[in-house]
């Protein structure tokens, strides 16, 4: 199957595109997008991969599935398009960055600027039906995105994996902690963050310190 995705990722994931599950997944996604409104726009489903080539990945931030309200999702986990109000989780991410690094709250929640610095903003499920969280979780996306994580874990090292919440933390077993840094915490959503374990973790400064220790340019958060 000829999938339109950034060339270095295509090379590492080509075997997935040839498997029966991916053909079934592609057909299921086409049906969903034909039957009603889905997010992100079809051209942005692989935006995380297209913005952050395989060999440029420094950090992985794993989300569960895209935002499901109009104008929000554009293929990057936790990110919203310019001019869209910050969802609660993103508000808490920016608050923690401000406390950790002293960086001001940015005017836009568009995190393309992170992706282009090497932050892979990957949702485990890459599409969703409008107004219905996790509605595409059973289509087969997770087999594909797990393969992407394994490809990084096998072929790259000195990557920082930021795993927030139980779902993301369940992926930790795929990552060799002797060759990478894994930062785990509760999810930044108010439901979790306000109970403790999100604020004050200094994940963003710890991430940058690790990158610098390994001769890698830190992220401008």
Spell out the residues 6+ positions from residue 221 whose beta carbon is closer than 8 angstroms to its own: 97, 101, 103, 114, 204, 208
Give the pLDDT of residue 158.
Answer: 98
Give the pLDDT of residue 1.
Answer: 74
Give tens-digit pLDDT for 5-44: 999 999 999 999 999 999 999 999 999 999 999 999 999 9
Catalytic residue among 2, 55, 65, 82: 65
Give the pLDDT of residue 134.
Answer: 95
Contacts of 68-72 with C-beta under 8 Å, sequence gap 24+, read: 68/39, 68/128, 68/129, 68/130, 68/131, 68/132, 68/133, 68/135, 69/130, 69/131, 70/130, 72/39
Cα dihedral value 154, 158, 164, 165, nearest 10: 40
Collapsing DSSP to helix, strand or coil, 122 comes out as: strand
Residues facing 181 on adjacent strands: 160
Give the pLDDT of residue 65.
Answer: 94
Give tens-digit pLDDT for 165-188: 999 999 999 999 999 999 999 999
Residues facing 123 on adjacent strands: 63
Give the pLDDT of residue 60.
Answer: 98
Say how far apart CA 208 and CA 160 lie, in whole Å.
Answer: 9
82 annotated active-site? no
Taking 70 as the pLDDT cut, the residues of the chain under it are: none
Give the pLDDT of residue 194.
Answer: 87
C-alpha separations of 12 from 18, 98, 102 in Å: 12, 36, 38
Spell out a b/e string for 148-185, using b for 16 or more CB atoms within 10 Å of the CB, else e.
Answer: bbebbbeebeebbbbbbbebbbebeeebeeeebbbbbb
- Concatenate the DSSP letters of all residues of 20-55 into one string: HHHHHHHHHHHHHHHHS-EES-GGGTTHHHHHS-GG
Say how far apart CA 135 and CA 129 lie, in whole Å.
Answer: 6
Give the pLDDT of residue 148.
Answer: 98
Give the pLDDT of residue 2.
Answer: 82
The single residue listed with the structure tokens 């935002």 is: 67
First-to-last alpha carbon distance for the chain, in angstroms, is 37
Token pair recorded at residue 169: 């933390």
Token pair recorded at residue 111: 């995190």
């Amino acid at each position: 199957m000829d999938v339109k995705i950034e060339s270095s990722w295509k090379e590492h994931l080509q075997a997935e595109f040839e498997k029966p599950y991916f053909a079934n997944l592609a057909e299921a996604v086409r049906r969903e997008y034909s039957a009603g409104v889905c997010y992100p726009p079809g051209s942005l489903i692989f935006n995380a991969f297209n913005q952050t080539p395989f060999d440029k990945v420094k950090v992985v931030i794993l989300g569960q599935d895209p935002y499901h309200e109009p104008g929000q999702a554009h293929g990057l986990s936790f990110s919203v398009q310019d001019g869209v109000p910050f969802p609660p989780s993103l508000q808490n991410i920016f608050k923690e960055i401000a406390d950790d690094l002293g960086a001001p709250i940015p005017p836009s929640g568009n995190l393309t600027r992170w992706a282009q610095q090497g932050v892979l903003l990957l949702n485990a499920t890459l599409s969703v039906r409008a107004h219905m969280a996790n509605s595409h979780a059973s289509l087969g996306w997770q087999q594909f995105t797990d393969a992407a994580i394994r490809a990084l874990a096998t072929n790259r090292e000195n990557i920082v994996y930021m795993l927030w919440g139980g779902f993301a933390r369940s992926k930790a077993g795929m990552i060799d902690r002797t060759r990478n840094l894994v930062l785990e915490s509760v999810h930044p959503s108010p439901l979790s963050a306000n109970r403790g374990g999100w604020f004050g973790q200094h994940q963003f400064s710890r991430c940058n310190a690790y990158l610098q220790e390994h001769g890698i340019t830190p992220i401008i958060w």
